Amino acid sequence: MIKQGIRKEGLFAAMAVVAASLTLVSLQAVAAIPDASGLIHGCYNKTNGSSRIIDTASASCVKPEIPIQWNQVGPQGPVGPQGPQGAQGPQGPQGFTGATGATGAQGPAGQAGAVALFIRERTDLVGALDTPLNINSLNLPAGNYLLTATVSVFNDDGDPQTLACSLNPTGRKDQIELPGRDDGSGGQLTIIAPFSTAVAAVVTLNCGGFQIVLTKSVIAAIPVSAITAQ
């Protein structure tokens, strides 16, 4: 009975040794290899050429070993040659419209443009105006104009006579009285009128007077930007 008790105690002691060994192996398994700086430490035996890896936190080399170490990651290699250019990628979507830029400074005033003038002078249509006649006309494009019509005549009668004219389609009318032939019968009548038209138009000058003889007529039109009645 005594011998059996001794055997049981020996068995318990052996089990304790095995458990301790397993614990040591477990601790070694979680050793810091490589260390925090990424180095792997080891020992090289100069006598027999053997080597072993160690955790410097818990072990060190012994004679005749010498410590050795190497990096877990090797040094960066040289830059390789540039590869061929890749294929062009697809066009990206259109970007957002940028903000409107600030208004630039006003430039200097330009030179005044040339003034257009429409005019027609007639000396071919002359003679007595006993019956009112269309003595002149002027074709105009659409626009705003200042019209001037002038008639040169003389009185071929011994008594004073009257010349009456109208500028159409403005409806502007005027007249003058001419003395008799013996008193210097020459005279001139002028009509000035504004005129606006949205389409091409024809301006006409109609005149008449007993024993009044026409010598010349002129219609002129100067374009203007706007007409303001006051």
Which tens digits make up the pLDDT trace of 147-191?
A: 999 999 999 888 899 999 999 999 999 999 998 876 656 899 999
Tell me the DSSP string of 151-192.
Answer: EEEEE-SSS-EEEEEEEETTTEEEEEEE--GGG--EEEEEEE
Which tens digits make up the pLDDT trace of 74-132?
A: 678 899 899 899 899 899 898 888 899 899 899 888 776 667 899 999 998 888 899 99
Position 184, amino acid: G
Peptide bond into 169 cis (omega under 30): yes
